[in-house]
Structure 1
Amino acid sequence: MDTAERKHSVPVLYVTGSHYECGYEMGRTFKSLISSFLSSSKLLNEYLLPVYESVEGRKVYDQTLSFVKEKYPQYVNEIQGIADGSDSELHKLMLFHFDEILPNVTNQHKSEIESSGCSTVYLNNSSNSQHFLTHTEDAANECLNSFYLVSAHVMSEEPYGKFKVKEEKFTALCYPGHIGGYTMGYNSHGLVLTINTLVANKLLINKAPRHFITRQLMTARNYEEAMEIIKDSGCGSADGFSINMKFIGKNNSSDFNNIEVGPAIDSQSQMDVLKVSGDGSFIHCNHYVRLNIQEYSDYYMRATKARYETLTKLPEPKTKEDIINMLGDTSHDEHWVFRCKSDYGTKTICVGIFDFIKGTWSLYKGNPKENKPVAVLHLEIDA
């Protein structure tokens, strides 16, 4: 039973300008949500800040901040804009974007702080025109009614950052105070993606935090460019994540791709790319299925594997209704797919359904088995 009070609304901000200007408008517009989130976040106040305030943690923070300023200066400016617009302290926002790096590298991990999760189901059934990428966005309880959508047109006077991008157009779901990319969204070039957090046992410093790689991914113009961003040659990822993506419109690659990403080896991200061509379905949650990477073993890992087992034991989906039943499943004794128990540290804050036939993105705040979407967005892809 869903005991949480869910507000059936999703704020949307349309914004244009430089990285800093767009960030500032995000911070100014959602100032109250960001301030409330920072003050109430158990993850920040009971976990990340104590690590940051330790000698070892502050050293890792400073190293990581110096690294992203060099490699991703545009996104540091964007976060600075969010901080200034919301009257927030920059380091608190940065700690969310550095995620598990500080506690992992300094051996200060706390297993009782439950990480966010997510479940993704893809379906292509051409016989009855069913083609979907669907996703449960699972996050800390404080995010339940605090997330928002940002539709941004970012313009720089000169090509900016490691990948020399001058213009970006994307729409993404954002947690309070976060840049887009590390949840679900799409860009004007036809890239549609969802992200699953993966928890590698050993993370790295002087490598790219996953939030910055996936933010850069929102600039990708085609499949080849997306692969280069994820690989991040010369550096590579600091941590782990899974990308579920497909290009539609003029850049339609016909294939759906799941990319499991692990901490860098030999100065580039570890990657395993699975292509789903033609008809078929695919499921991914929050553990490595193909890459041989040691994972952090705790309650979180047991929960994600239970969700995965539940989904894979259900009949293979053929229709949208089948997928909705999967994403709304509450049959497991303890670990529901649609996470809404009162004792969960993490809730399913929304469900997203990308319909590639209709060109829409539907968002559900409640269980999709029992509720209609609160928003249906048209995917605005450049012709």
Structure 2
Amino acid sequence: MTGTTATEQLQPHGKNIPRRQCIPILYTKGTHYDVGFDVGRTFAALIKSFLEISVPLNTEYLPLYKTPEGKAVYDATLKSVKESFPQYIRELEGVAHGAGVEFHKLFLLHMDDITPNATNRINGVHPPIGCSTICVNQPDNEILAHTEDALQETLNHFYIVSAHIIESTPQGKHRVSEERFTSLCYAGHLPGYTMGYNHHGLVYSINTLSANTLHSGKTPRHFITRALLSVPNFEQAQKILRDTGVGAADGCSINMTFLKQEGDRLFHNIEMGPAAPGENQSQLNVLTISSGESIVHANKYLRLPIKEVTGPIIDSSVARHEAFDRLGKPKSKEDAVNMLGDQSGKVHTVFRENGGDEFVKTIAVGIFDCRKQTWSLYSDNPKHNEPLFVLPLVLKS
């Protein structure tokens, strides 16, 4: 066998495997549970491997889950999500059953840093970190480009799910009976919290934002962004993000456009913050750009006045924005590729491989071309590599 050493062949599955040029994709159709089961069954090996090596899960979330305080935070959050989005709980149960893994481990992953923060009022040792997005809105270039950055154990532990979900009755607080979408997914995670599109023409990406104070009994961002995959228009997207009646438990930045909108192309960046104390809806700030403008966003609040955590996520975001400033305003797909592949930083780089925050890696890069209606996926630095594949954006007629 060429290209692989004997030592590499003997390494445990999922540990210390070099970057693979591989992004598996699953096409599936059925109810929420059916789709979840198919995902779990198809990617069971990847999901089990990821649960075994996930540092936050095994060193923080599970130990806290076994305490009365941590279990109370878990139970309050699960109860809230079941009331708002029971269909996504069934979908996640399908993943657990299909993969043969415990549901509570998957749900803890979806809670992210909520468990340590809401339990002990401390930020996790290994907080969720990552992602840069660039939106280019020029007459001949309408691009949404995104790096998917994650803790290093996520490398080689992701896949794409293209699903058509049909239920006999409307589901959840937003009364949705049909969804059709394609999304990049971390192993064992629901679709929605990375980058993807739906058949209504929504194209979007997510940047994690880390508020200093999180709350139990609210909606984790993973479930709010999962619900985004159902939206037909910008008005409904804002409604889902606002999550009136409950509100977000944590925060993120959403970059989006709608391919079937009337008039000139518009891109939006929405900063979502946790529901303020005593409030029952997310904090939102919306930035909309028209032709001739651009958006760059990393993992730091730029407009919402929310106290953030300190540490690598902020340091890296500042460094990436400084790199974007040096490279200038993007006006083309080539500019976006050059910026997202940049590794000129001395400590923190945009495309992250072995920088000062080496526990974080860029695991994939996606380029949505809104004019050609394509999604190019890279499993390595786009400055030096061709896309692994290019998917057509299939829209509802």
Common fold by TM > 0.5? yes
Aligned length: 379
Check whether the contact 2:294–2:330 (CA below 8 A) recurs between aligned residues. Answer: yes
Q: Distance in 2 between matches of 1:350 and 1:357?
A: 22
Residue 116 of structure 1 pairs with residue 133 of structure 2: no
Whole-angstrom distance in 2 between the partners of 1:281 and 1:207:
33
CA RMSD of aligned residues (A): 1.5
Residue 176 of structure 2 is aligned to residue 165 of structure 1: yes
Distance 1:191 1:174, change over 3 A: same
Q: TM-score, normalised by structure 1?
A: 0.96
Q: 2:146 matched to which residue of 1?
A: 135
Task: Say whether 1:191 aligns with 2:205.
Answer: no
- Once the two structures are superposed, what CA deviation does each residue of 1:50-71 show, in whole Å capped at 9, x if it has no partner? 2212221111001111111111
Which residue of the partner structure matches residue 380 of structure 1?
394
The letter for the 1-side match of 2:201 is G
Secondary structure of the corresponding residue to residue 64 of structure 1: helix
2:97 to 60, 79, 84: 84
4+ runs deviating over 4 angstroms: 250-253
Query: Does the 8 Å CA contact 2:242/2:281 hold for their aligned counterparts?
Result: yes
What does residue range 222-261 of structure 1 map to in structure 2 within 5 Å? 222-249=233-260, 254-261=265-272
Residues 1:103 and 2:116 are matched in the alignment: yes
What's the CA shift for 1:111?
A: 5.3
The 1:22/1:340 distance shift into structure 2, 3 A limit, reads same
Q: What's the TM-score once normalised by structure 2's chain length?
A: 0.93
Hey, what does 1:366 align to over in structure 2? 380
Moved more, 303-312 or 7-16: 303-312
- 1:209 equivalent to 2:220? Answer yes
Q: CA offsets per residue over residues 122-178 of structure 1, 9 Å max, x none?
A: 10121xx11100000001212211210000001111001010100000000000011
Q: Once the 2 structures are TM-superposed, how far is the Cα of residue 254 of structure 1 from its aligned partner? A: 2.7
Which amino acid counterpart does residue 208 of structure 1 have in structure 2? T
Higher mean alpha-carbon deviation, 46-55 vs 322-331, is at 46-55
Cα distance change on mapping 1:74 and 1:252 into 2, 3 Å: farther
**Mapping for residues 341-356 of structure 1, pairs under 5 Å:** 341=354, 344-356=358-370
Q: Structure 1 residues 24 and 108 mapped into 2: Cα distance closer, same or farther (>3 Å)?
A: same
Letter in 2 for 1:155: I
1:47 to 60, 66, 82: 60
Give 1:221 shift.
0.8
> What SS class does the counterpart of residue 90 from structure 2 fall into?
helix
Between the aligned residues of both structures, percent identity stands at 50
Pair 1:179 & 2:190 matched: yes
What's the offset of the Cα at 1:109?
Answer: 3.7
Partners in 2 of 1:123 and 1:202 — Cα distance? 33
Q: What are the superposed Cα offsets for residues 242-261 of structure 1, whole Å, 9 maximum, x if unpaired? A: 10000002567731100000
Query: Structure 1 stretches of 5 or more lacking a match?
Result: none
Instruction: After TM superposition, give the deviation of residue 5 of structure 1 in Å.
Output: 2.1
Summarize the alignment of residues 301-380 of structure 1 with structure 2, pairs less than 5 Å apart.
301-341=314-354, 344-380=358-394
Q: Tell me what 2:12 maps to.
A: none
